[in-house]
Structure 1
Amino acid sequence: MGEEMKVIVFGLADEEYGIEVDKVRTIERMMPITRVPKTLSFVKGVINLRGVVIPVIDLRGRFGLPESEPTDGSRIIIVAVNDLEVGFIVDTANDVIDIDSDTIDTPPEVVGGIKAKYLRGVAKIGDDRLLIMLNLSEVLNKSEIIQLEQQEA
């Protein structure tokens, strides 16, 4: 058996994704997002969360999926990577599950239209459920993080 890991499950365009719980700070309902000029199209702007300004990325846009209007189910998942806090807009976020790290397979080149570099792997859960594990450091790759940090400055 590999290590048990706790994973937050979120939905995006009919697929289920996972992020390790220890990378997630909090999950918030949609809130007003302040647009920031001259940013990449998937950077929606910033939110003020309890006095902290956090950049928000639309994960659909980040992955090149069609963007959609937020719904009642939409959530902003606040993640922390390399001392940077960033919010991801997702369609739903509803579940915390335990998975065994041994069940994570290398991702195929493209999953759900998303390039493999953004993915850590695909976890099999039960007989018919696949969970696409994100590679957060690549989703927030350095050059883009630098752009985000410059906005905050």
Structure 2
Amino acid sequence: MMKYATFYIADDLFGIPIYLVQEISRQAAVDPIPGNDSRIEGLMNLRGRTTAVINLKRCLFKSGVEAAPAGQRKKMIILETQDGLPQEALDLGLNAEDEPVVLLIDDVFKIIDGELESFYPPPAHVNETYIEGVMKSGEDLISLLSIPKLILDLVTYMEDTNHGS
């Protein structure tokens, strides 16, 4: 059984394997990158390392994305790096990036246990390449994000954009 960190983006609930989470913190200062993909919020200094900050709201909701109200605090999920993954994560086939990556989310929910019988494939009407499936936990439906697919899409887009100019 794997545990999942769950969080909100707008009113929707998402989850990723807890092994991929190094830390959850309040939003810190992010320096925007002019002319960059809008899904990349910018760069931040994370304990002396320059780290990309991915705005999940812009990744998952392509249109009609508005900034959170001024009083609503955003949070950051700092993802674990490949060399920081425990052996249990590697045994489960999980992979991480070599460099730190930060996900900008609206709010954290809770850690839940993922029971095998509670997993379902993504619904047919969900045309989102980053969703691996759906998990039911009590009354909550949680969309499970594929962090590798998300990062691969961002990197591919940036490489295509940079080579096309």
Which of 143, 147, 154 in structure 2 is aligned with 1:132? 143
8 Å CA contact 1:74, 1:93 repeated in 2? no
- Counterpart-to-counterpart distance in 2, 1:33 and 1:24: 19
Partner of 2:16: 19
- Counterpart-to-counterpart distance in 2, 1:20 and 1:59: 16
State the 1:84 CA deviation: 3.3
Q: How many percent identity over aligned positions?
A: 27
Give matches, 1:102-121, under 5 Å. 102-111=117-126, 115-121=127-133
Q: Is 1:145 aligned with 2:160?
A: no
Partner of 2:91: none
Which of 106, 110, 114 in structure 2 is aligned with 1:95? 110
1:44-98: CA deviation from partner (whole Å, max 9, x where unpaired) = 1111111121100111111115132365431011124332321111110131111
Structure 1 outlier segments of 4+, above 2 Å: 69-73, 144-148
Q: Is 1:78 aligned with 2:70?
A: no
Aligned length: 141
Partner of 1:10: 7
- Runs of 5+ in structure 2 lacking a partner? 81-95, 160-165
The TM-score with structure 1 as length reference comes to: 0.81
Distance of aligned partners of 1:71 and 1:54 in 2 relative to their CA distance in 1, 3 Å threshold:
farther
Letter in 2 for 1:138: K
The TM-score with structure 2 as length reference comes to: 0.76
State the 1:19 CA deviation: 0.7
DSSP-derived class of the 1:22 partner: helix
Distance of aligned partners of 1:54 and 1:101 in 2 relative to their CA distance in 1, 3 Å threshold:
farther
Letter in 2 for 1:124: K
DSSP-derived class of the 2:38 partner: coil
Whichever structure has more strand as a proportion of its residues is 1
Partner of 1:49: 46
Q: Is 1:39 aligned with 2:54?
A: no
8 Å CA contact 1:108, 1:116 repeated in 2? no
- Counterpart-to-counterpart distance in 2, 1:55 and 1:93: 20
8 Å CA contact 1:110, 1:116 repeated in 2? no
- Counterpart-to-counterpart distance in 2, 1:49 and 1:26: 12
- Counterpart-to-counterpart distance in 1, 2:38 and 2:45: 20
Which of 46, 50, 55 in structure 2 is aligned with 1:58? 55
Q: What is the root-mean-square deviation of aligned Cα atoms in Å?
A: 2.2
Structure with greater Cα Rg: 2
